[in-house]
Amino acid sequence: MEKAVFIALDYDREEDAQNLLMKLGSADKTYLKIGMELFYHSGSHFVKQLVEQGYHIFLDLKLHDIPNTVYRAAKQLAQLGVFCITIHALGGSEMIMAAKKGLVAGTPKGMKPPKLLAVTELTSISDAILRNEQNCSLSMTKQVVSLAQTAKKAGADGVICSPLEVTSLQKIIGTDFLYVTPGIRLANNQNGDQKRVATPKQAKDYGASAIVVGRPITTATDPASVYQIIKKEFN
């Protein structure tokens, strides 16, 4: 996997996403993340359309349900030809294995199954929330490592985690695993609702496999220029 920079299309209308795409470069060199907001509005037809145009799609729906339901959902999503999908590691090993089987079963012949990425702790979760609301006695790093170990043993291809945790994860889990990190901001950006953030260069130094960037690109006056700056800094 190349050092991809996924642009988070956090829009509630397909038209807004299309307006941004018109300002960016060629489809085959552009990586996009589609989350629940846009997917629930525009559906799978929009995702399939983007795949057919050559975009690399990270479909971030964070599946989390009983194993049989997740298997059937993953089987459907695999037919879209997306690059990767997400599930919650907190769903447990049986659910993760079911998702992996669903992706393999649903992938059309001649194509590679989407990568399965497990969400550890969301970057909006602070140590205080982990301790006081999730009632977890582990530190954030130990909790993320534990969830990542479960995900890898269950067949996931990588995890979604904060860039701040990548170094610790690589030491314990290894470098033969994908570490995809949201919470990326340029030095002059505000953090917004993200608690655990890093710059593209810091994410690179920590060892991130790929990064996800939303508002620093989507709200920029010249999003194409900012996208190139971030890609250059990360690579």
Considering 65, 127, 142, 204, which one is annotated as catalytic? 65
The DSSP line for 69-98 is HHHHHHHHHHTTT-SEEEEEGGG-HHHHHH
Annotated binding-site residue? 201: no
Q: Is 88 a known ligand-binding residue?
A: no
Q: Is 194 annotated as a binding residue?
A: yes
Letter for the amino acid at 62? Answer: K
Q: Which of 3, 16, 48, 62 is catalytic?
A: 62
Instruction: Out of 60, 75, 100, 152, pick the active-site residue.
Output: 60
Active site residue 65: yes
Helix, strand and coil content of the chain, in percent to the nearest 5, comes to 50, 15, 35
**Do the annotations mark residue 127 as ligand-binding?**
no
* C-alpha dihedral sign at 74, 78, 79, 84: positive
Q: Is 64 assigned to a binding site?
A: yes
Known binding residue 175? Answer is no
- Residue 231 annotated as part of some ligand binding site: no
Closest CA to 123 of 187, 29, 192, 190: 192
**66 annotated among ligand-binding-site residues:** yes
> Does 16 qualify as catalytic in the annotation?
no
User: Is 69 part of any known ligand binding site?
Assistant: yes
12 assigned to active site? no
Are the CB atoms for 63 and 88 separated by under 8 Å? yes
Closest CA to 9 of 23, 24, 20, 22: 20
Q: Which residues are annotated as a binding site?
A: 10, 33, 60-69, 123, 185, 194, 214-215
Binding residues for substrate: 10, 33, 60-69, 123, 185, 194, 214-215
| Catalytically active residues, by annotation | 60, 62, 65
